[in-house]
Chain A
Amino acid sequence: MDPKPLWLLAELTYKCPLQCPYCSNPLDFAGPRFKRELSTDEWCRVFREAKALGVLQLGLSGGEPTLRPDLEQLVRTAHGLGLYTSLITSAFRLTRERLAGLKAAGLDHVQISVQGADAELSDEIAGTASYRDKIAAYHYTRELGFPLTVNVVLHRRNLHQVEALIRLAESLGAERIELANTQFYGWALHNRDALMPTKAQLAAAWQVVERERARLGTRLEIVWVLPDYHEQFPKPCMGGWGRAYMTVTPAGEVWPCHAAGRITTLTFENVRDHPLDWIWEHSAAFNRFRGDAWMPEPCRSCPRKTQDFGGCRCQAFLVAGDAGITDPVCSLSPHRHLIDAALADEREPEEWTYRAAPASRALAGRG
């Protein structure tokens, strides 16, 4: 059976008042490729086409999606289509009135990031004083009756706070806390040496997660996104290329995952030029790694290929220079040494580069 997508991540804008060094947005987010943002009508058409194609879950993300003044209208359209709509926001300057308006428009779920468990660390990592706004927005979200996810990206500088972060989410009455170990794409890859956790940090944090899961049960769902560099086998990236998931970027390019745009050997189509169903079914980029016919060894004859689909195509490209080979995270990959070299527990952490437009323009030339 032909796969139909269930998930659409709509990256409404790459503008963002925060500057998280782990941001997965493209390094050249401020460049010409993403400049001409889709209009309200274009997004509404994308949502209609996505629903007709089988999408049920919609994430409104960015950058910072609340910077779009038409967000309410986009939510209203998505809700009218029956999409389960999640707002993924930093909550910077997010008011109660705005959230109430989004609730009235039919928003289903709010996901608010926090960078650390206290103002000092959170604001330092975000590069922008935002912790106070976040805490306020958490409360508004609960008061308005939204289900709430607290989202934290974990790395060397905040892994020691996992327990405090879970307690924070619990005290806020959140439904879920997503503890997402940094995935190394975009700015996170650029800042990899500064963000890379040690084995000991990860082991300690994982112990906390297990203990807290047992204590909290269904009261607070704790999602732990694996630190894949420290694993033996790769993650089943996006549930397989072009199987269930797609991302639409601010200027309308459609990607099989939110990092795929960096694969320079593929050409990605734009919703301005083609209907979404054509892009999903017929575009070269979506078909390139569908199924398992593209797989080389060691994946081709590996029994795990139906579970992990050979891992992440972006990681194969970014780390080993070829999107069409086994994810180098895999211990069976001939390129695993490239991952091991990045682990270096002994190394002193380096300074990071904050994600910001001037740095983006300076780095864009370098790819």
Chain B
Amino acid sequence: MSPATAAAVPRLHAKARLQRDEVRGREVLLYPEGLVGLNPTGAEILALCDGVRSLADIVATLERRYDVTGLERDVAAFLDGLAEKGLVLYGP
């Protein structure tokens, strides 16, 4: 899976679903025979992966929300990790 470009539009694969894990106080990404526990930042990034926003849009939204800059590398690395597992797809 090629790493994301700024214009790529990340979306969750249809097999994956975000779910609140109340018992452990976190969000999780569930998929066939597996799950990934998410920290709050990860959950926030995935909530923005709506299949419309590009990676650049997502980064800009988060940077505005927290009044910081330079998030692109971390956001891309997080999504690339999930893309390697086939859980995130990059579309045009």
Residue numbers of A with Cβ under 8 A of B are: 4, 6, 52-54, 56-57, 82, 84, 86, 108-109, 111, 145, 147, 149, 175-176, 217-218, 221, 223
Contacts and interface: CB of A to CB of B under 8 A. Distances in A.
6 contacts: A54-B21, A56-B35, A84-B35, A147-B31, A147-B32, A176-B32
Given A56-B19, A56-B28, A223-B33, 16 more contacts: A4-B23, A6-B35, A54-B21, A54-B24, A56-B21, A56-B30, A57-B30, A82-B20, A108-B15, A109-B32, A145-B14, A175-B15, A175-B32, A175-B86, A176-B33, A218-B1
B84 interface: yes
B85 interface: yes
Contacts of B85: 218
Interface of B: 1, 14-15, 17, 19-21, 23-24, 28, 30-33, 35, 84-86
Contacts of A52: 23
A218 B1 CA distance: 8
B84 to A, nearest CB: 7
Contacts, number: 51
A17 to B, nearest CB: 25
B5 to A, nearest CB: 18
The 7 closest A-B pairs by CB, nearest first: A147-B15, A84-B30, A54-B23, A218-B86, A109-B32, A82-B19, A147-B32
A244 to B, nearest CB: 11
Interface of chain A: mostly helix, strand, loop or mixed: mixed
In this complex, the member of A52, A54, A82, A145 whose beta carbon has the largest number of chain B beta carbons within 10 angstroms is: A82
A223 B32 CA distance: 12
In this complex, the member of B23, B28, B85 whose beta carbon has the largest number of chain A beta carbons within 10 angstroms is: B23
Given A57-B30, A176-B33, A84 B19 contact: yes
B84 A218 contact: yes
Contact of A57 (B1, B23, B33): B33
B90 to A, nearest CB: 12
A54 B37 CA distance: 13
Contact of B35 (A53, A57, A147, A221): A57
In this complex, the member of B15, B19, B32, B86 whose beta carbon has the largest number of chain A beta carbons within 10 angstroms is: B32
A6 B28 CA distance: 11
B19 A86 contact: no
B29 to A, nearest CB: 10
Contacts of A56: 19, 21, 28, 30, 35
A211 B35 CA distance: 27
A176 B34 CA distance: 12
A66 B22 CA distance: 30
